[in-house]
């Protein structure tokens, strides 16, 4: 990768033209009926059973953050703003296959974008920063995740660092939304230079309440105060807003702490966590009796033996052949979030919202939404 990878050309317009002309659905039909060893060699982008995405452009956002504009092939399903995808790359020379989740920071008719901060020692983020080129083909998953807007009238995005990406995607989508909700945006990072999408946000600040908070360069009247005070001063009506929270674990915990103190109803909180490290959640209490878990929406129950109570609810469901939607399996993406209707769990829980990938049974009868 060159020192300045701000390439905004479209050398692969033929692929874009084909997708625009035929549409992904018709293309899927045509390709699946012409798949053979010859056509596979013509284009491994279209004639593939996998979802692929071609890098169309690379833009620099900050010194350590790049945006990759991607053109997915016909297998890709239209995403919702706030969703993420899994990117899979075989890293040369070892060929080690590395998979990571990245939120879609922009969604357009034909293309999507991911915005990637270089993580020290991060295999995929470093590969994307140092090796990826315009024209490269990546393996990509279909969009997933529950960090989505559902028509809330009054909301606020509270984000930090790279956690801005899903919030920014939703904010952009809401600009075109006829419902015109009351939106607040609070973005915490180290310095103005490290603020991702700063210019776009400044541009929007005329019509939306957008507040920057810098930990290493206090803004007069804002970031010189403790985080809890900053939030309350900026949004005195925090308790009346639906909160979209996304950021590193420490930031997440500080915000949740503030919300707990003001008696915030966690049913109005939508969370996604960003971290380069797995977070460890509290483990299960050892139960001496078997546990019954009921999934009300699926009208399904399954049993967990007492000796398996150290397994997560997701692992136990899977071992019983019960499907629970999930993504990262580490309490980060929010895909598995559900509501605890009866019983108790330990681990990853916010009010009545629980994350089965990192939650454990703590009572012998558990009813989930």
| Residue 335 is a binding residue for ligand FES (CB under 6 A) | yes
Binding test (CB under 6 A) with ligand FES, winner from 56, 291, 304, 332? 332
Alpha-carbon distance values, 49 to 12, 282, 324 (Å): 20, 40, 24
Nearest CA among 192, 202, 123, 195 for reference residue 165: 195
DSSP 95: T
Q: What are phi and psi of 11, to 5 degrees?
A: -75, -5
For residue 352, the Cα-to-chain-centroid distance in whole angstroms is 21
Nearer to ligand FES, 180 or 297 (CB): 297
Question: At closest approach, how far in Å is the CB of 4 from ligand FES?
Answer: 35
| Residue 279 is a binding residue for ligand FES (CB under 6 A) | no
Q: Burial-class residue 161 by CB neighbours within 10 Å (0-12, 13-18, 19+).
A: buried
| Residue 140 is a binding residue for ligand FES (CB under 6 A) | no
**Sign of the dihedral defined by the CA atoms of residues 168, 153, 151, 253, in that order:** positive
Binding test (CB under 6 A) with ligand FES, winner from 212, 274, 355, 360? 355
- Burial state string for 102-127 with b = 16 or more CB within 10 A and e = fewer than 16: bbbbbbeeebbbbbbbbbeebebbeb
| Residue 329 is a binding residue for ligand FES (CB under 6 A) | yes
Nearer to ligand FES, 300 or 350 (CB): 350
Span from 178-186, 202-210, 284-292, 324-332 in contact with ligand FES (CB under 6 A): 324-332
Report d(CA 283, CA 55) in Å as an integer: 41
Binding test (CB under 6 A) with ligand FES, winner from 291, 333, 362, 366? 333
Binding test (CB under 6 A) with ligand FES, winner from 55, 140, 243, 357? 357
| Residue 184 is a binding residue for ligand FES (CB under 6 A) | no
Binding test (CB under 6 A) with ligand FES, winner from 107, 134, 167, 336? 336
For residue 226, the Cα-to-chain-centroid distance in whole angstroms is 27
Question: At closest approach, how far in Å is the CB of 313 from ligand FES?
Answer: 10
Match 């001063």 to its residue by tokens: 233
Question: At closest approach, how far in Å is the CB of 261 from ligand FES?
Answer: 25
Question: At closest approach, how far in Å is the CB of 336 from ligand FES?
Answer: 3
Nearer to ligand FES, 67 or 348 (CB): 348
- The answer for 214, left when phi > 0, alpha when psi is -120 to 50, beta otherwise, is beta
Nearer to ligand FES, 230 or 335 (CB): 335
Task: Give the number of other CB atoms < 10 A from CB of residue 250.
Answer: 10
Pairing status of strand 242-247 against strand 269-273: parallel
Extended beta strands in the chain, E state:
52-62, 65-72, 84-91, 96-107, 112-117, 137-140, 154-160, 182-189, 209-214, 242-247, 269-273, 291-295, 300-304, 338-342, 345-350, 353-361, 365-368
Question: At closest approach, how far in Å is the CB of 162 from ligand FES?
Answer: 16
Nearer to ligand FES, 32 or 267 (CB): 267
Span from 116-124, 240-248, 293-301, 321-329 in contact with ligand FES (CB under 6 A): 321-329
Extended beta strands in 252-350, E state:
269-273, 291-295, 300-304, 338-342, 345-350
Alpha-carbon distance values, 50 to 32, 38, 123, 243, 268 (Å): 12, 17, 22, 36, 37
Question: At closest approach, how far in Å is the CB of 315 from ligand FES?
Answer: 12
Question: At closest approach, how far in Å is the CB of 21 from ligand FES?
Answer: 37
| Residue 59 is a binding residue for ligand FES (CB under 6 A) | no
Question: At closest approach, how far in Å is the CB of 308 from ligand FES?
Answer: 19
| Residue 331 is a binding residue for ligand FES (CB under 6 A) | yes
Binding test (CB under 6 A) with ligand FES, winner from 52, 129, 252, 326? 326
| Residue 245 is a binding residue for ligand FES (CB under 6 A) | no
Provide the binding-site residues for ligand FES, judged by CB under 6 A: 326-329, 331-336, 355, 357
């Amino acid at each position: 990768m060159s020192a300045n990878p701000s390439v905004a050309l479209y050398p692969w317009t033929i692929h874009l033209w084909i997708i625009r002309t035929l549409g992904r659905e018709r293309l899927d039909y045509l390709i699946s009926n012409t798949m053979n060893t010859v056509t596979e060699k013509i284009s491994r982008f279209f004639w593939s059973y996998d979802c692929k995405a071609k890098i169309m452009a690379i833009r620099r956002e900050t010194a350590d953050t790049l945006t990759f504009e991607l053109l997915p092939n016909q297998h890709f399903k239209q995403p919702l703003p706030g969703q993420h995808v899994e990117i899979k790359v075989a890293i040369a020379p070892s060929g080690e296959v590395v998979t990571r989740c990245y939120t879609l920071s922009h969604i357009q008719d034909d293309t999507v974008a991911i915005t990637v901060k270089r993580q020290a020692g991060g295999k995929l983020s470093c590969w994307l920063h140092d090796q990826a080129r315009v024209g490269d083909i990546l393996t990509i998953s279909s969009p997933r995740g529950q960090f989505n807007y559902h028509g809330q009238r009054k909301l606020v995005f509270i984000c930090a660092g790279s956690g801005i990406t899903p919030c920014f995607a939703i904010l952009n989508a809401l600009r075109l939304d006829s419902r015109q909700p009351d939106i607040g945006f609070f973005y915490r990072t180290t310095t103005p230079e490290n603020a991702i999408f700063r210019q776009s946000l400044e541009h929007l600040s005329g019509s939306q309440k957008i507040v920057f908070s810098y930990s290493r360069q206090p803004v007069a009247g804002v970031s010189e105060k403790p985080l809890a005070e900053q939030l309350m001063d900026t949004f005195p009506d925090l308790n009346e807003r639906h909160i979209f929270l996304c950021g590193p674990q420490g930031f997440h915990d500080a915000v949740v702490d503030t919300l707990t103190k003001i008696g915030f109803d966690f049913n109005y909180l939508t969370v996604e966590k960003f971290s380069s490290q797995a977070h460890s959640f509290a483990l299960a209490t050892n139960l001496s009796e078997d546990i019954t878990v009921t999934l009300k929406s699926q009208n399904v129950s399954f049993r967990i033996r007492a000796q398996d109570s150290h397994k997560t609810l997701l692992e136990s469901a899977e071992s019983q052949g019960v499907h629970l939607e999930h993504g990262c399996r580490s309490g980060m993406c929010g895909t598995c979030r559900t509501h605890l209707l009866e019983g108790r769990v330990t681990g990853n829980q916010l009010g009545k919202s629980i994350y089965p990938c990192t939650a454990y049974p703590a009572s012998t009868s558990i009813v989930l939404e």
